[in-house]
Amino acid sequence: MLIKLAADGPASEITPHSSYLRRREFLAGAAALGLGSLVPHAALAAALQADKSPLSSASETQTPLKDIISYNNFYEFGVDKDDPVKNAHTLKTKPWKVMVDGLVNKPAEYELDDLIKDIALEERIYRMRCVEGWSMVIPWVGVPLASVLKRLEPQGSAKYVAFGTLVRPSEMPGQRGVFQPLPWPYVDGLRLDEAMHPLTILAVGLYGQTLANQNGAPIRLVVPWKYGFKGVKSIVRISLTEKQPPCTWNLQNPREYGFYSNVNPNVDHPRWSQATERRIGESGLFVKRRPTLMFNGYGEQVASLYTGLDLKANY
């Protein structure tokens, strides 16, 4: 009954800023009342209303929620796939501020709700492909990154967008151990035209609810034609730059991970093939690996971004 209450109104309705906020508060209140267990995947998840986007890859079976929230890479919470689901509850996602700086006319430290205010939330069902060889189909809820960037007014000299994430060891066990798997903050970036592409979104939810912490709450990048590691989680900084920004995995191992990281079955990672993938949630003796598609199947929309670029050299 309470879940019905949270999902107030038709799914096609545009979500204004104030009701987005109210939903977040409703669930915080529900959690305080001990009603958190009514919410399927996290005590603070709140129902979101989103327009269904025609840009969805809607024909494929969606990966079950339980798999999306329990098989994650989020090294701030540990390096094993089941570490984030166990550890990410300690992350506090409210209040949340995003610092915007660099080559923009509207630099500021924005409250998250102000950053996406009045931009309609959309449901985008996307195939996602990790460089490790697994894939999922995820019904994201988010806003086009282009809409947010337009609001920030990139200057003419801006050529790239850099994303930075939270460094808060008190809430992130992976940042306080003796062994720190990555340099912090986790960073990555896009060329400005990739960032402005209509398929690129900032996600705040999935399966109609706010993101579970382990999926990158409260806001993360989603670029469906690139390998999963470009999906920067728990973003606290957006910078417009003239120079190509650093990428965590490229810094870690430049021979294995490049700036572009476009899904490409013809260019193998040095240690494993990229020709096929295992769809998470389809485990079983007789389940076959699927062929991986060029640009993860989004080539018709994005291939023109790379005309004239050698994709073997620019992996």
Ligand X SMILES: Nc1nc2c(c(=O)[nH]1)N[C@H]1C(S)=C(S)[C@@H](COP(=O)(O)O)O[C@H]1N2
User: Burial level of 114, CB count in 10 A (0-12/13-18/19+)?
Assistant: middle
Q: Which of 233, 236, 298, 315 binds ligand X (CB under 6 A)?
A: 233
* CA-based nearest residue to 63, from 228, 202, 263, 230: 228
Alpha-carbon distance of 84 to 68, in angstroms, equals 11
Stretch that binds ligand X, among 27-35, 92-100, 228-236, 292-300 (CB under 6 A): 228-236
Quick check: 242 and 157 in contact, CB under 8 A? yes
Alpha-carbon distance of 15 to 122, in angstroms, equals 9
Alpha-carbon distance of 202 to 152, in angstroms, equals 14
- Looking at the Cβ atoms of 126 and 229, the one nearer to Mo ion is 229
User: Burial level of 191, CB count in 10 A (0-12/13-18/19+)?
Assistant: middle
Q: Which of 27, 125, 130, 263 binds ligand X (CB under 6 A)?
A: 130
Alpha-carbon distance of 305 to 197, in angstroms, equals 9
Quick check: 56 and 124 in contact, CB under 8 A? yes
- Looking at the Cβ atoms of 224 and 231, the one nearer to ligand X is 231
- Count other C-beta atoms under 10 Å from residue 297's C-beta: 17
- Closest separation in Å from C-beta 186 to ligand X: 4
- DSSP string covering 54-107, please? TTS-TTSPPPPHHHHTTS---GGG-SSTTHHHHHGGG---SS-EEEEEESBSS-
What residues line the site for Mo ion (CB under 5 A)?
73, 130, 228-229
- Closest separation in Å from C-beta 133 to Mo ion: 10
Q: Which of 102, 208, 228, 245 binds ligand X (CB under 6 A)?
A: 228
State both tokens at 23: 């939903």
Closest chain position to Mo ion (CB): 228
- Closest separation in Å from C-beta 130 to Mo ion: 4
| Binding footprint of ligand X, residue count (CB under 6 A) | 16
Q: Which does 231 bind (CB under 5 to 8 A by kind): Mo ion, ligand X, none?
A: ligand X
- Count other C-beta atoms under 10 Å from residue 260's C-beta: 21
**Does 15 participate in binding ligand X (rule CB under 6 A)?**
no
- Closest separation in Å from C-beta 132 to Mo ion: 6
Cα dist. 66→44, 46, 167, 188 in Å? Answer: 16, 17, 27, 27
Q: Which of 229, 257, 259, 298 binds ligand X (CB under 6 A)?
A: 229
- Looking at the Cβ atoms of 16 and 297, the one nearer to ligand X is 297
Stretch that binds ligand X, among 19-27, 31-39, 98-106, 223-231 (CB under 6 A): 223-231
**Does 186 participate in binding ligand X (rule CB under 6 A)?**
yes
Helix extents (H) in 132-275: 145-152, 192-196, 248-252
- Closest separation in Å from C-beta 302 to ligand X: 19
- Closest separation in Å from C-beta 134 to ligand X: 8
**Does 165 participate in binding ligand X (rule CB under 6 A)?**
yes
Instruction: For the segment 73-102, give every residue that binds ligand X (CB under 6 A).
Output: 73-76
**Does 279 participate in binding ligand X (rule CB under 6 A)?**
no
**Does 215 participate in binding ligand X (rule CB under 6 A)?**
yes
Instruction: For the segment 17-76, give every residue that binds ligand X (CB under 6 A).
Output: 72-76
Q: Which does 215 bind (CB under 5 to 8 A by kind): Mo ion, ligand X, none?
A: ligand X
* CA-based nearest residue to 276, from 286, 285, 263: 263
Binding site for ligand X (CB under 6 A): 72-76, 130, 165, 186, 215-216, 228-229, 231-234
